[in-house]
Amino acid sequence: VFSEMLIAPGTLLYKGLPVSCKTLLKDTRTFYLTDDAKYAREYGKMCTYRAKKQLRLFEMTHENLKKVLELPNIDKRTKYRIRMAFGTNATLANQVRFLKSEGKMKNIPKIKNLNRSGERASWKDLNRALGIYFSQEFLIPRGYDGYYSEAKRTVFHVGMFPSEIMLFNAYQRIERAHDR
């Protein structure tokens, strides 16, 4: 019913870190990576990871998310987080109000048409909460290893938010590759 992405074992994935790649990360319940090494470097030292097994990722598309939002067993707070983070079934006005109420974005860009469909809005606290609860309520019960979100146009992040991969319990799924 949902589209998904498969990543082959041995595939290299990247994460930009402000610390050494050898540092053991404290919380890997929601671990964000990318398949774009250039993008990872923008966040700090590029660390390379290898998929230990085939990764089955839910695709965070509007079509898939609309189906998820209709499911009765997903908590209303998780549905709200999805709507605010991905703009699915939301307007830019909804997202701006939410961002202001959360104090997450003090300098929200000027938006010409707030009645347009929502767009990708990403910030650490929302992503972490969304990743944890969406994993518990939807991804884990359905056998997914995480999710994949393709690059999306957005007024909130200088025009484009790059693609991302979120894995839960990451070290069951990836291992550190020797950085070159």
User: What pLDDT digit, counting tens, does each position of 30-69 carry?
Assistant: 899 999 999 899 888 999 999 999 999 999 999 999 999 9
- Phi and psi at 85, nearest 5°, equal -80, -40
Cβ neighbours, 10 Å, residue 103: 7
C-alpha distances in angstroms, 132 versus 8, 55, 97? 24, 18, 24
The reported pLDDT for the residue numbered 75 is 96
6 vs 111, more confident: 6
Cβ neighbours, 10 Å, residue 32: 19
User: What pLDDT digit, counting tens, does each position of 94-153 carry?
Assistant: 888 887 787 666 667 777 888 888 888 877 778 888 889 999 999 999 999 999 999 888
Angle of helix 62-69 relative to helix 76-86, nearest 10 degrees? 160
